[in-house]
Structure 1
């Protein structure tokens, strides 16, 4: 006898059964053929020096758009790209789609959230362009800066949270309409449990997470605990490894080539695949000066009412135990050509290592 199950009944069943969060995060889909055994892709931020670069270089020509980025990443053996879709017109989206299909690569978009109802129409145009190009996932962020730098009181952070939730709620009907996944990154704004609670409370099968493997070290969270918390909700990833080193006000934090830092990337990949067999792995190896995490200053703690002293002690003990053996990567002492060369070397090294773990 054929049984008809309404959508709301199906979701209720999933929540109370062993399928749980994993099925909600990746609802009854098989892995597409083009995603089977796909190599690691590259996030546009891995090429901060070359993206829209005005530097004249015969060896490291700048990438002016997604087509340039995709062509280069295909040449070096990457499986796809994650790139911003703002300003794409339909004709450009079709060019991206044609090149993507020819090269057999995956495409993930990066998109800004609408801040008010007046921005929803523009947001929808970008969603439609991304879908036209072949993207099935759109990564987004709620904060462009860093929590401990942007906000100086619990009230300021609460105002940000209110605005962020409003933006997500404005976006949800659009991505549901066009059947494209929206993935919110843990972007040095949300602690892992905070972001997980937001995603679960909103409860849309089209809303999930872009799981960044390293960002939350800056919020005194262990990378593997973050991955365990967010992997069940992850639609996409930012793969990275992190190096740490003490400094007077706390510790320094840098992206480093895979396998050289504190993140168990192989185990993180395994956990993500457990919950979402078709998840893509995209490298975000940002070549820059180390970030200062001033966790020994009073201002750092202004928005972390729930954080305990043991979080600080545990993190600083981890830093001391795992201090990077040499100076952390830096670019301020390099000329333009040197920065471009260093950036490319880091990306190539990460792709090389990824072939053993992805």
Structure 2
């Protein structure tokens, strides 16, 4: 029985047991332990649930402290709107704990936004972040864009934002990493980067997101790795449904992805790259690739890519079905989230770390 089977078959009371206080795990001499992306704490970040076992994280200091306790090497966390004093506090705590820090930031939409963006960059750098992750859209492509023209407009807006950001990044010596965030297919993102032609703008390479756009995850990694600044490491499982397929993050090692090979490709292109976990514990995402509206922005995408994805979903049905959090109580969701993160960090030791 694997770990996911055990969690699903255990009684709800098991999930309500608080994890014990975890000792600081030793860092491997050969490399930096995997970090944690703030979105891994989907339920706990700014949670309204009153929980003694899993109190809410409300800022980067609390996230750093907890991730240090469970053995993570760093964090990637939102940096928008920090004060100078808070940035210095994060710097001091990060240095004391010996962890890396990557920021998550919004890029300017218009010239009037550049000053605020620069303030965020300065404060993130003061805290120790040399890499800032960003996204160029407000959601999943197939949910928010409904025509070819809408995609062209999104692409132009993204290009404008990155062009506004680039002089600030160059001035302060900070790199910006654009995530493949279920918006860009890999060749489209590469085309944007080539048009920008800046050493200061690259990629946050998400290992699993692009499956939602019918891309082979290994091909995505091979395409984007030459531009990789940071990563979102996750493992994926799929299951078919009437309108397409369901897509779900699962604990590392329990899904479809060849994670050691993906990590090796990233390190080949950027030996200094860090690996940051984005294990989002939630219900599976519906990817309605058999509905007409899904295809509104994809143009002449080959049918072979759809066939590959549907074949994958039908040939790799998980047993039991994909995990779902909706039936769980709020406390149990927090418990399962923590268990999944700790499990993923344990998997990474000796497999993904440098």
Query: What is the TM-score normalised by the length of structure 2?
Result: 0.90
Query: How many Å separate the matches in 2 of 1:210 and 1:283?
Result: 12
Match of 2:32 in 1: 38
The yes-or-no answer on 1:91 pairing with 2:85 is yes
Residue 190 of structure 1: which of 175, 184, 194 is its match? 184
Equivalent residue for 1:157, pick from 151, 159, 168: 151
Other-structure match for 1:338: 332
User: Secondary structure at 1:210's aligned position in 2?
Assistant: strand
2:53 matched to 1:59? yes
Q: Which residue of 2 aligns with 1:138?
A: 132
Counterpart of 1:315 in structure 2 is 309
3-state SS of the aligned residue for 2:219?
A: helix
Cα distance, 1:144 vs structure 2: 2.4
What is aligned with 1:119? 113
Counterpart CA distance in 2 for 1:96 and 1:303 is 41
Q: How many residues align?
A: 325
In structure 2, distance between residues paired with 1:155 and 1:120:
27
5+ residue gaps, structure 1, are: 1-33
What is the rounded CA distance, in whole Å, between the counterparts of 2:158 and 2:317 in structure 1?
35
1:27-77, Cα deviation, whole Å (9 max, x unpaired): xxxxxxx99600000000000111111211111111010000000000000
Match of 1:242 in 2: 236
Partner of 1:147: 141
Do 1:35 and 1:106's aligned partners in 2 also have CA atoms closer than 8 Å? no
1:314 to partner: Cα distance: 1.2
2:153 aligned with 1:166: no
1:194-215, Cα deviation, whole Å (9 max, x unpaired): 1011112211111100000000
* Residue 296, structure 1, aligned to residue 290, structure 2: yes
Distance 2:141 2:55 in 1: 34
Residue 279 of structure 2, aligned match among 276, 281, 285: 285
| Counterpart pick for 2:259 among 265, 270, 292 | 265
Q: Please give the root-mean-square deviation of Cα atoms over the aligned residues, in Å.
A: 1.1
Poorly superposed stretches of 4+, deviation over 6 Å: none
Task: Rate the CA distance shift 1:35–1:50 in 2: closer, same or farther, 3 A.
Answer: farther
Q: Which residue number in structure 2 is paired with residue 230 of structure 1?
A: 224
2:204 equivalent in structure 1 = 210
Structure 1 range deviating more: 312-321 or 337-346: 312-321
CA-CA distance at 1:326 after TM superposition = 1.4
Q: Which residue of 1 aligns with 2:13?
A: none
Give unpaired runs (5+ residues) of structure 2. Answer: 1-27
Task: Compute the displacement of 1:356 (Å).
Answer: 2.8
Give the match for residue 350 of structure 2.
356
What residue in structure 1 maps to residue 69 of structure 2? 75
* Separation of aligned partners in 1, 2:83 and 2:156: 32
Query: Does structure 2 conserve the Cα–Cα contact (< 8 Å) formed by 1:239 and 1:283?
Result: yes
**Aligned mates of 1:324, 1:106 — CA distance in 2:** 35
